[in-house]
Amino acid sequence: MEVVREKNGFLLSENPTPDEIADALLSVCDQREAWLEKRKGSREVWQERYNETTNFEAFAQKLVEIRKQ
Give the C-alpha separation, 65 to 59, whole Å: 10
pLDDT band at 60 (very low <50, low <70, confident <90, very high): very high
For residue 61, is pLDDT > 90? yes
23-47 pLDDT, tens digit per residue, is 988 988 888 898 899 899 999 988 8
Nearest to 11 by CA among 55, 52, 41: 41
pTM for this structure? 0.59
Contact 53, 47 (CB under 8 A): no
The rounded Cα 3 to chain-centroid distance in angstroms is: 4
pLDDT tier at 1 (50, 70, 90 boundaries)? low
Question: SS3 of 16, please?
Answer: coil
